[in-house]
Amino acid sequence: MVLAMLEGTVALVTGASSGIGEATALRLAELGASVALVARRRDRIEDLAGRIGDRALAIEADVSLKVQAQRAVEQTVSELGRLDTLVNNAGVMLLGPVQDAPLEEWERMLAVNVAGLLYCAHAALPHLLGAAQDGPRQVADMVNISSVAGRVARLGSGVYNLTKHGVGAFSESLRQEVGGRHVRVSLVEPGAVETELRSHNRPEVQEQIAQRFGDIEHLQAPDIADAIAYIVTRPRHVAVNELLVRPTEQQG
Ligand SMILES: NC(=O)c1ccc[n+]([C@@H]2O[C@H](COP(=O)([O-])OP(=O)(O)OC[C@H]3O[C@@H](n4cnc5c(N)ncnc54)[C@H](OP(=O)(O)O)[C@@H]3O)[C@@H](O)[C@H]2O)c1
């Protein structure tokens, strides 16, 4: 029965306090998984945990801090019992020209999109390998959220492009390393999704982003949650390595 495909498994979703992460946590819970909800905004993840019920665990953590990322993984395993699925979703997108860019914006993107993802991947990997060996499904998943920006570089997105291209390269290398042991590493590359992501940009940059996308119909967070759910519910011998999902009207 489709609805119970992830019964008995445990998923950890980073950036679960809004947007794609929130929608993904809800979707994986619907499929029967217990879910650890990781983000900095405690009120948001506690509210989400309340909506999901007793199979959800809210963990306040800043994944860009090594100790907090490690603790989030360890707390998931100690309180929910195991770890079968890691969705590395937490991210920030701070755009604009390279010239005169605030270095603090670059540092935040590198810290969350790259270091945060690596800390979570490193801490989770032994548990994913264990789940693939003796878990209910004999397979485990790490889903890394990149972007169209991880495929195509654009003027005004240089450092965001750098972080997301890096996520793609790391994912492919790790896929080759652990696929033989039934840990699947997948890359999801969304186009424009209606979330809070762009609201953290400077006003002039937000204006440029709005102009770029005009009034095209954006993806909604549950559209990407569906893609992630598809990946993690494939049979053990099927690995969806990469999914690029754009709004139908998005050109570049
Ligand atoms: N929206 C799009 O158009 C789009 C397109 C392609 C790719 N993506 C990617 O999709 C992912 C999710 O973005 P979204 O669109 O859903 O945006 P969002 O609504 O802004 O969500 C970002 C999430 O990341 C979390 N986060 C940020 N910094 C964190 C940190 N240091 N530690 C822990 N969590 C942190 C935020 O939670 P807290 O603030 O509570 O910590 C929030 O839950 C990102 O990796 C983004 O690059 C989005």
- Across the beta sheet with 34-39, the strand order is 56-60, 34-39, 10-14, 85-88, 140-145, 183-190, 242-245
pLDDT per residue as tens digits for the range 75-123: 999 999 999 999 999 999 999 999 999 999 999 999 999 999 999 999 9
DSSP-derived secondary structure letter, 180: G
Residues in the chain: 252
Q: Is 144 in the pocket of ligand 1 (CB under 6 A)?
A: no
Beta bridge partners of 219: 193
Relative orientation angle of helices 158-178 and 117-134, to the nearest 10 degrees: 20
Task: Ligand 1, residue 193: give the atom nearest the CA.
Answer: 3
pLDDT at 214: 86
pLDDT at 1: 46
pTM of the complete model:
0.98
Contacts of residue 35, defined as CB under 8 A and 6 or more positions apart, other chains included, come to 10, 11, 12, 13, 16, 25, 28, 29, 52, 55, 56, 57
Look at phi and psi of residue 8 and say left if phi exceeds 0, alpha if psi is from -120 to 50, else beta. left
Task: Ligand 1, residue 199: give the atom nearest the CA.
Answer: 20
Q: Quickly tell me which residue has 């992830």 as its tokens.
A: 6
Q: How many Å separate Cα 189 from the centre of its chain?
A: 10
DSSP-derived secondary structure letter, 2: G
Separation of CA 23 and ligand 1 centre (Å): 12
Q: Is 39 in the pocket of ligand 1 (CB under 6 A)?
A: yes
Neighbouring C-alpha atoms within 13 Å toward the C-beta of 223: 17
Separation of CA 52 and ligand 1 centre (Å): 20
Task: Ligand 1, residue 200: give the atom nearest the CA.
Answer: 20
pLDDT at 50: 98
- C-alpha to C-alpha distance for 73 and 133, rounded to whole angstroms: 19
Q: Name the percent of the chain lying above pLDDT 70.
A: 99
pLDDT at 4: 83
- C-alpha to C-alpha distance for 169 and 3, rounded to whole angstroms: 33
**Is 160 assigned a catalytic role?**
yes
Split the chain (252 residues) into runs of 10 and give each run's mean pLDDT.
Answer: 82 98 98 98 98 97 98 98 98 98 98 99 98 94 98 98 98 98 98 98 96 94 98 98 98 92
Q: Name the percent of the chain lying above pLDDT 90.
A: 97
Q: Is 171 in the pocket of ligand 1 (CB under 6 A)?
A: no
Phi, psi dihedral angles at 196 (to 5 degrees): -80, -5
Q: Is 196 in the pocket of ligand 1 (CB under 6 A)?
A: yes
- C-alpha to C-alpha distance for 75 and 210, rounded to whole angstroms: 40
What are the start-end ranges of the H helices in 81-202?
Answer: 103-109, 117-134, 158-178
